[in-house]
Amino acid sequence: MLALGFLNNPRSGRTLSFGGPEMQPVATVREILLGTFDAKHVIVRGWLQNKRIGGGIIFLLLRDGSGVVQCTLRKGKVDDKTFEEFQSARIESSVELRGEVKPDPRAPGGREVQVDEGRVVHPALEEFPIAKQFHGPEFLLDKRHLFVRSDKMRSILRVRAVVLSAVREWFDEHGFTEVHVPSLTSAAVEGGATLFEVKYFDQKAYLTQSWQLYAEALIASVGSIYTIAPSFRAEKSRTRRHLTEYWHVEAEAPWCDLNCIIGVEERLLSHIVATLVEKCKTELALFERKLEDLEKVKPPFERVTYDQAFKMIGEEKSGIKWGDDLGYEQEKLLTVKFDRPFFVTHYPKKAKAFYHLPDPSNPEVTLSVDCLAPEGYGEITGGGQRIENYDALLARIREEGLDPKSYEWYLDLRKFGSVTHSGFGLGLERVVSWVCRLDHIRDAIAFPRLINRIYP
């Protein structure tokens, strides 16, 4: 019988609660289920996700962040005190177990840990408020700090992380350097309507909507660049696809026109999706996302102009006039005609921000591009080619009624070696919502910020 003790395991460097002659390092559930842990006896630590008692056996589902594994405690095999302790332990207590890994076709994942020693580290003090029964969305948002433990949220958070690692991998391999810019800014990028104003000592400042203006300065320093950072939008309408704080993947490249940036976007998106297919099969299955849907996502993506899109939706059905931006409703009508992401290009000048380059062959439209995801999800990226010429940029700033003083440094960039350049922004939560088939963007982030929610 091994003594319960607190030993520092020399191999793992982790503090263990079980020790004795043969000390074992802690295994992760993932290692146990994949069979990559090279010992039959393991120590596992985590939270009690579920518990069932029957026929002198306690069946536990233990979650440790890497997965969920079944662990069984048999009366007589563990001592009576331990059996009783686990018999009364509530769901979401933290526990530590030691036992032998055995194949069991009935257990989720095909393996179980047959426990010979265990302890409740911190018993849950109350019944866990989130039960199996239906809870309304507001209740679950109030309990978000606990709901993040659900299979759904855990899977989404893993998908998010894999998307971001794929983003970094692709950019790093294709000559883009990661750069960071301030979140506190002095001017609007995407129009004043969604600006968050903050007091900056005795000045007015804003939370950034996009890194773009700074990015256009930095391309003359480091060349092709990207960032991953939060952006803020004071979105006053409640929709299924707007957060007030979201994670923005943005890129900017010198010597790159509209066509070039579209190529970057479609290759990046294809790499993201291929990486998910490779690394997130379990998570995608939980959301009933078919791998075939994602395997179709390969360059080149289909392209339609705003004009064509407007005709495809049908003027009466669209509810907008030519020149208006495509909103959620219009994009929904359009996306049913596609089964994979596609591009809409050449948006009218009045639908886009001041910096978009008007098309030299038709200045009423711009060299702009949005990528739309199918199945009603709509816009996941926005970008295009920027105005290069000093006078043209100044004229557009004036035309939009913006104060050229606020954009003095930005205009300066056109005085010192301006070049053809383009960029785009991708909304991380928009992409996650689409691949995970979420009903609402709030579930694509751990702690969503929405018009009516800043707690917890």
Residues that bind Mg ion (CB under 5 A): 382
Q: Which of ligand 4AD, Mg ion, none sits in contact with 433, Cβ below 5 to 8 A by type? A: none
Q: Which of ligand 4AD, Mg ion, none sits in contact with 307, Cβ below 5 to 8 A by type? A: none
**CB-nearer residue toward Mg ion: 179 or 353:** 353
**CB-nearer residue toward Mg ion: 142 or 325:** 325
**CB-nearer residue toward ligand 4AD: 215 or 276:** 215
Q: How far is the CB of 169 from Mg ion (least distance, A)?
A: 25
DSSP assignment string, 22-50: S--PBPPHHHHHHT--S-SEEEEEEEEEE
Q: Which residues of the chain form contacts with ligand 4AD (CB under 6 A)? A: 189-190, 209-210, 212, 233, 235, 242-243, 246, 248, 250, 379-383, 423-427, 429-430
Contact between 321 and 348 under an 8 Å Cβ cutoff? The reply is no
Q: How far is the CB of 194 from Mg ion (least distance, A)?
A: 11
Cis peptide before 456 (omega within 30 of 0): yes
Q: How far is the CB of 437 from ligand 4AD (least distance, A)?
A: 17
State how far the Cα of 138 lies from the Cα of 25, in Å rounded to an integer: 41
Q: Using the Cα atoms of residue 359, residue 365, residue 370 and residue 374 in order, give the sign of their dihedral.
A: negative
Q: How far is the CB of 427 from Mg ion (least distance, A)?
A: 9
Tokens for 366, please give them.
Answer: 């711009």
Q: How far is the CB of 35 from ligand 4AD (least distance, A)?
A: 40
Q: Which of Mg ion, ligand 4AD, none sits in contact with 118, Cβ below 5 to 8 A by type? A: none
Calculate ∠ Cα 331-337-343, nearest 5°. Answer: 60
Q: Which of Mg ion, ligand 4AD, none sits in contact with 348, Cβ below 5 to 8 A by type? A: none
Contact between 56 and 71 under an 8 Å Cβ cutoff? The reply is no
**CB-nearer residue toward Mg ion: 4 or 229:** 229
Cα dist. 2→23, 45, 99, 173 in Å?
A: 10, 18, 12, 51
DSSP assignment string, 348-384: BGGGS-TTBPEETTEEEEESEEEEEETTTTEEEEEEE
Strand partners, 425: 250, 382
**CB-nearer residue toward ligand 4AD: 59 or 338:** 338
State how far the Cα of 386 lies from the Cα of 82, in Å rounded to an integer: 67
Q: How far is the CB of 444 from ligand 4AD (least distance, A)?
A: 9
Q: Which of ligand 4AD, Mg ion, none sits in contact with 430, Cβ below 5 to 8 A by type? A: ligand 4AD
Q: Which of Mg ion, ligand 4AD, none sits in contact with 423, Cβ below 5 to 8 A by type? A: ligand 4AD
Contact between 190 and 210 under an 8 Å Cβ cutoff? The reply is yes
**CB-nearer residue toward ligand 4AD: 43 or 380:** 380
Three-state SS at 305: strand
**CB-nearer residue toward ligand 4AD: 92 or 250:** 250
Q: How far is the CB of 354 from Mg ion (least distance, A)?
A: 14
Place of tokens 């302790």: 85
Q: Which of Mg ion, ligand 4AD, none sits in contact with 407, Cβ below 5 to 8 A by type? A: none
Tokens for 393, please give them.
Answer: 């940029």
